[in-house]
Amino acid sequence: MVTRALPKLRSAVGTTVLRQPKLRPVSFLIEPFDLFLYGEEGALRALQGRFAAFVRALDGPARFATWHMPTSLRPLIDWTVGEAARTANPWRTSILMEYRQWYEELERAGDFQQALCGLTVWAKPETGAASPGAAAQAALATRVVEANWPPLARGEYRIKAGPLWHLEPVGRPSGRPLLCLLGTYSFKSVEWTFFRPLAGLFSMGVPLGMVVDVPRTWESHEAVSKLEGVITAMQAHLATTRALDTASQRQVADASAALAELHAGQALHDVQIKIAVAADDAETLKARVEEVRGRLRPYLGVRVEVGADQVRAARYFSTEPTARLEGRPSTWPMTSPALALTLGFLGLRKLEPRRGIVRGASAGGGWPYIYDDWETSQGKKAVHECWVGTTGAGKTFALNCYLSRTLAHYGIPFDLLEPMGHGQMLAAAFNIRAYSLSARRTSLNPHDPVYGRVGEQIAHVIRLYETFLQRPLGGDPAGNIQASLLSQALYRHYQGHDLRTMTPAQAPLVEDVMDTLAGLGETERIKAMAREFAEEIAGLATGSGPYGHFLNGHTSVDFSIAGEEQPRIFTFHEMEEDDVLIAIAYTQVLAALMRTALSNDSPRVIAVDEVYRMMRHPALLKFLINAVKTLRTRRKKVIVIDQQMRVFVSDPAARLLFENCPIRVIFAQRGGEDVFYADPAFAHYTDQHRKIIAELPRFRFLMETDEGIFYLDSQASRAELRRYGSS
């Protein structure tokens, strides 16, 4: 897109519009997104189209701003140190000290900046703040919240005269920088992109602020007639001069092209840009100002503001209306698509200095992405997560890091269900015992009470029976009768008991229930069916049947949470490779965890690795979906992990599970990338996202949260690498 060097347009109403007294500023902060995830022509054009549509709908003055200022991991470090002091748990203290050391290392190695973006629109008082905010959020496809802008500078400043005019803090600077304000005075007719020239400024690491001030969006008929007037006048001038006037010819061409855009529905805006460069000393300031001007020179005429204009320009970083700051602002006309390109800075994310868990390092920028899962300060509920990635992509390692960071920082424990035995490593790190389940040593009674209501409990038990019988009970006449008989048998054992207080030791055994079942039935035919059904079940799940030991016994694992803070690990690698058994074991453990989890609101993470082992049994998938929904209401975060995203979206029931997991972590998919193109759940992904997914190297992933999509590196501390680095 070429920004055209359009002639300045003046009109009688030009400045009176700006003085409309009734307009009221409403300011917003905009969550930056990641422009590099749009690194492809088509996606960028679509983005430009959306931004242009937003600006062309402006019916009053507007101002965009961004601040890229030095920041640090200090809030994270201070919180870590504070938690270490507050906790009475010596393990947490020592692990927190390790994390602190890691953060200090990152802090020393990185030169972090924070990126803030703001928007102010001047609207009629009757327009609520919600409507421009909602419009901006929809058009910019990122979070927009009504909020005051941060100040450009704190404390008192005075003007310092040339050679380089700038502002200098009065009194002790105590970290307050010098500021030099620059302003645009002309726009050249050159090719612009989202990155060049403006957004590129913010990758230099220089502390900068920038305002794109749009004091006026023209009425289209007025803009058209003005431009037409200019073109006619210039053509007349060209017709009368003999000399070759390429500059004027160029202007006519630019104005005509802009006119064509206006006819195509675009708007014309008056635009000016103010830039604040910061530095701790005059020499650095001078060098930085030169660097900035040098970068912009091919595109924009930029000058250092002189005298009181230094202060005036600084005041643009607020909600003071342009008309009050300057009678004749040095604006330049720009069409909406060109103005859209000045907003590339909205696509530059940097470090958010806050407390939370480090979820990885930005693959492009190196800064850690810190996410507060629990938003403890706001009392929010944790959100479930769905992780996918092929073998060796780094899921288990990242999970171990996540679980230990969460336990160390928040004191929030976890339950891990995993089939490979890697849990032993985590157990060693936490000095806890991993429960290894084995069909020969362990018993998990399918009748253990999970739900408080008999109806729900019986439905749950029947799902377990369906799983080891490997057929649904119901749907056909014989199946319906079997389900009803089994319900009756179970009911006889549960009735009269309070399931909420029933202990596993009091739960009936499979053989007891089968005895009851075998005696049911009114007619001979039904009696025979009951006996036959009881024999079938007993043959599988009692005595020397394949599941006899595992299912027909009182539960031998103590699931009652002794210490609420204790993490627990359940590994299934000693389960004989029996698909059905492993699935039932997963369910039983999860059901037992649920029983305790539902009795309190203390936060907890429940991570289920290789969750497909449950998902491929329809009855258990239903249980899982139900569990996930219920756990969320009790502040439990579930993380389900598997290899392929396809597993989660291809089946309508599995999809429910996926939809209940708003945070998504996507490691390499190798061969399963088509869902990211075909499935509507990923319609908001750009082709760049898909390309990244297709090419993800080991230990890298895409993470989607309520804050956007992040391309991250699974970054770990040295202590973590030592502990979990050999899974």
Interface region with Mg ion, contact rule CB under 5 A, candidates 395-403, 405-413, 534-542, 554-562: 395-403
Q: Cα 455 vs. chain centroid, distance in angstroms? A: 39
Q: Nearer Cβ to ligand ATP, position 671 or 725? A: 725
Beta carbon of residue 726, minimum distance to ligand ATP (angstroms, whole number): 6
CA angle 377/103/383 to nearest 5° reads: 35
Our CB check for ligand ATP shows the closer of 80 and 727 to be 727
Dihedrals phi, psi of 360, to nearest 5 degrees: 150, 170
Residue 377 binds which of Mg ion, ligand ATP, none (CB < 5-8 A, kind-dependent): none
- Rounded Cα–Cα distance for residues 15 and 11 (Å): 8
Among ligand ATP, Mg ion, none, partner that 80 touches (CB below 5 to 8 angstroms by kind)? none
In sequence order, what DSSP letters do the residues of 344-360 get, joined into one string?
GGGG-------SSEEEE
Q: Specify the 3-state DSSP secondary structure of 44.
A: helix
Minimum Å gap between C-beta 428 and Mg ion is: 17
Minimum CB–partner distance for residue 609 and Mg ion (Å): 6
- The binder of 321, among Mg ion, ligand ATP, none, by C-beta within 5 to 8 A per type, is none
Residue 389 touches which of ligand ATP, Mg ion, none (CB < 5 to 8 A by kind)?
ligand ATP
Contacted by 714, from Mg ion, ligand ATP, none: CB < 5 to 8 Å by type: ligand ATP
Number of residues that bind Mg ion (CB under 5 A): 2
Helix axes 524-541, 454-469, angle to 10 degrees: 70
Q: Is the Cβ of residue 215 or residue 360 nearer to ligand ATP in the bound state?
A: 360
Check residue 682 and report its DSSP letter.
G
**Which among 357, 353, 351 is positioned nearest to 408, based on CA atoms?**
357
- Whichever of 226 and 395 has its CB closer to Mg ion, that residue is 395
519 vs 725 by CB, closer to ligand ATP? 725
Q: Of 3, 113, 184, 396, which lies in the binding site for Mg ion, with binding defined by CB under 5 A?
A: 396
CB of 396 to Mg ion, least distance (A): 3
In the bound state with ligand ATP, the residue whose beta carbon lies nearer, of 297 and 718, is: 718
Residue 725 interface partner, choices Mg ion, ligand ATP, none, CB cut-off 5-8 Å depending on type:
ligand ATP
In whole angstroms, how close is the CB of 254 to Mg ion at the nearest point? Answer: 59
Residue 393 binding partner per list Mg ion, ligand ATP, none, with a CB distance cut-off of 5 to 8 Å that depends on partner kind = ligand ATP
* Region near Mg ion per CB under 5 A, out of 203-211, 231-239, 396-404, 558-566: 396-404
CA triplet 482, 484, 485: central angle to 5 degrees? 65
73 vs 696, beta carbon nearer Mg ion: 696
Short-list 1, 721, 710, CA closest to 359: 710
Q: Closest distance between Mg ion and the C-beta of residue 358, in Å?
A: 20
CB of 716 to ligand ATP, least distance (A): 5
Please identify, among the stretches 139-147, 209-217, 309-317, 391-399, the one whose residues bind Mg ion according to the rule CB under 5 A. 391-399
Indicate the residue among 44 and 641 with the shorter CB distance to Mg ion: 641
> Distance (Å, rounded) from C-alpha 706 to C-alpha 348?
17
CA gap 69, 30 in Å, rounded? 16
State the minimum distance, in angstroms, from the CB of residue 399 to Mg ion. Answer: 8
> Which residues, at least 6 apart from 203, have a Cβ–Cβ distance to it below 8 Å?
348
Overall residue count recorded for the chain in this entry: 727
Piece of the chain touching Mg ion by CB under 5 A; list 46-54, 192-200, 338-346, 388-396: 388-396
Of 343 and 615, CB closest to ligand ATP: 615
In the bound state with Mg ion, the residue whose beta carbon lies nearer, of 396 and 571, is: 396
Q: Which residues bind ligand ATP (CB under 6 A)?
A: 389, 391-397, 699, 714, 716, 721, 725-727
Give me the least distance between CB of 701 and ligand ATP, in Å please.
10
Q: What string of H, E and C letters represents the secondary structure of 122-159?
A: EECCCCCCHHHHHHHHHHHCCCEEECCCCCCCCCCEEE
Give the pair of three-digit tokens for residue 225. Answer: 């007639």
Q: Does 714 bind Mg ion (CB under 5 A)?
A: no
Q: At its nearest, how many Å lie between ligand ATP and the CB of residue 639?
A: 13
Distance between CA atoms of 543 and 653, rounded to whole angstroms?
A: 35
**Which residue in the shown chain puts its C-beta closest to Mg ion?**
396
**How many whole angstroms separate alpha carbon 267 and alpha carbon 58?**
9
- Who's near 545: CB < 8 A, 6+ residues apart? 538, 539
Q: Which does 726 bind (CB under 5 to 8 A by kind): Mg ion, ligand ATP, none?
A: ligand ATP
Q: 182 and 313 in contact (C-beta within 8 Å)?
A: yes
Give the largest CA-CA distance in the chain. Answer: 116
Query: Residue 167: enclosing H or E segment and its boundaries?
Result: strand 166-169
Nearest to 212 by CA among 342, 87, 53, 28: 342
Give the containing element (helix H, strand E) for 272.
Answer: strand 268-279
Q: Helix, strand, or coil here: 30?
A: strand
Interface stretch with Mg ion, choices 92-100, 101-109, 387-395, 455-463 (CB under 5 A): 387-395
686 vs 727, beta carbon nearer ligand ATP: 727
* CA atoms of 479 and 286, how far apart (whole Å): 84
**Which pairs with CB-CB distance under 8 Å and at least 24 residues apart come from 91-97?**
91/430, 91/431, 92/407, 92/408, 92/411, 95/404, 95/407, 95/408, 95/719, 96/408, 96/409
Per partner kind, with CB cut-offs from 5 to 8 A, the member of Mg ion, ligand ATP, none near residue 392 is ligand ATP
Minimum distance between the CB of residue 563 and ligand ATP, rounded to whole angstroms?
A: 28
Query: How far is residue 193's CA from residue 209's CA, in Å, rounded to a whole number?
Result: 20
Q: What is the DSSP track for 293-322? A: HHHHTTTEEEEE--TTHHHHHHGGGTT--H
Compare residues 114 and 404 and give the one whose CB is closer to ligand ATP.
Answer: 404
Q: How far is the CB of 120 from ligand ATP (least distance, A)?
A: 42
Q: How far is the CB of 113 from ligand ATP (least distance, A)?
A: 25
How many C-beta atoms surround the C-beta of residue 488 within 10 A? Answer: 15
Nearer to Mg ion, 395 or 635 (CB): 395
Binding site for Mg ion (CB under 5 A): 395-396
